[in-house]
């Protein structure tokens, strides 16, 4: 049984085609000023842009699937609909950034759900406040979510970026037990992710330098709550501003089930830099609805 793990870090929304709370079909790295979307394996990296799509191949073929939401995900990944006052209509989430298509797990020839859970928590508990009331009570928030894909008959998975014009850009081929990271963090948070490989393009480096310069001039200053607005069309009403307040006096959160040493080292580099917005609970993944 080959196992592949895809991790998600930063402003990323998990959603489904039918608005299910218990199963998800895709994720979107949301377009936001001052953020840098990036795909990373242990040895390769690729910058991501809006209207692109991350897909996964097995034996040369795409095999999209869906994921079962585990209890840890339900408990620690904020749901957007309650933060929006219960609004029922769903925006076109894939149009908000870079879509990541979940690959299918298989048992023999039969598809079965992959597993979507939480692998790492922010240190401090947080409460979500909006419209003059508590929208999500104090609790631990996911820092990294994890999609586990199992394939008994496949020992390799190809990671591919599909460009806006439909062209395919192969990033890497990974084997059993390896990890893939999808990140959408503030520019200063993205720095360690771009420790840079032969596949990094000059265009990606230029994008990073431009965004870092903008951030250095204060053009995208962040405060707790700012990221809630970055979901754009998801939180599109003025009164949908949500404050995410951490409580450093509450019991600290602890969870670390990362499976790849290179990813753990990279994450620790982010945590050790206390100036990063991505070290705060407001910057984590969300779920629709």
If pLDDT is split at 50, 70 and 90, which confidence band does 187 have? low
Q: Which of 72, 70, 69, 56 is nearest to 151 (CA)?
A: 56
Average the pLDDT over 1-8 and give the result.
95
Place of tokens 């928030």: 141
Q: Residue 54: is its pLDDT beyond 60?
A: yes
Q: Residue 75: is its pLDDT beyond 60?
A: yes
Average the pLDDT over 217-239 and give the result.
44
Q: List the domain boundaries for the chain.
A: 2-287
Q: What are phi and psi of 256, to 5 degrees?
A: -150, 100
Q: Which of 250, 231, 235, 55 is nearest to 158 (CA)?
A: 55
CB 72 within 8 A of CB 111: no
The pTM of the whole model exceeds 0.75: yes
Average the pLDDT over 216-223 and give the result.
36
């Amino acid at each position: 049984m080959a196992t592949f793990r895809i991790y998600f870090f930063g402003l990323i929304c998990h959603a489904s085609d039918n608005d299910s709370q218990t199963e998800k079909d895709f994720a979107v790295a949301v377009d936001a000023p001052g953020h840098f979307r990036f795909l990373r394996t242990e040895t390769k990296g690729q910058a991501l842009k809006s209207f692109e799509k991350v897909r996964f191949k097995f034996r040369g073929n795409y095999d999209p699937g869906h994921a079962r939401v585990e209890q840890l995900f339900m408990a620690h990944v904020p749901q957007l609909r309650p933060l929006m006052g219960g609004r029922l209509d769903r925006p076109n989430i894939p149009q908000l950034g870079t879509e990541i298509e979940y690959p299918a797990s298989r048992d023999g020839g039969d598809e079965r759900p992959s597993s979507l859970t939480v692998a790492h928590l922010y240190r401090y508990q947080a409460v979500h406040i909006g419209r003059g009331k508590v929208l999500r009570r104090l609790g631990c928030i996911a820092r990294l979510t994890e999609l586990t894909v199992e394939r008994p008959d496949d020992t390799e998975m190809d990671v591919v970026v599909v460009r806006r014009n439909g062209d395919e850009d192969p990033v890497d081929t990974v084997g059993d037990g390896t990890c893939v990271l999808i990140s959408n963090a503030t520019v200063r948070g993205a720095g360690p992710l771009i420790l840079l490989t032969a596949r990094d393009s000059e265009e990606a480096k230029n994008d990073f330098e431009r965004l870092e310069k903008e951030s250095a001039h204060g053009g995208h200053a962040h405060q707790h709550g700012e990221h809630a607005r970055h979901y754009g069309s998801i939180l599109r009403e003025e009164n949908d501003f949500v404050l995410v307040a951490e409580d450093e006096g509450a019991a600290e959160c602890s969870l670390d089930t990362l499976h790849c040493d290179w990813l753990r080292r990279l994450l620790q580099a982010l945590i050790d830099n206390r100036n990063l917005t991505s070290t705060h609970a407001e910057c984590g993944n969300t779920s629709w609805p």
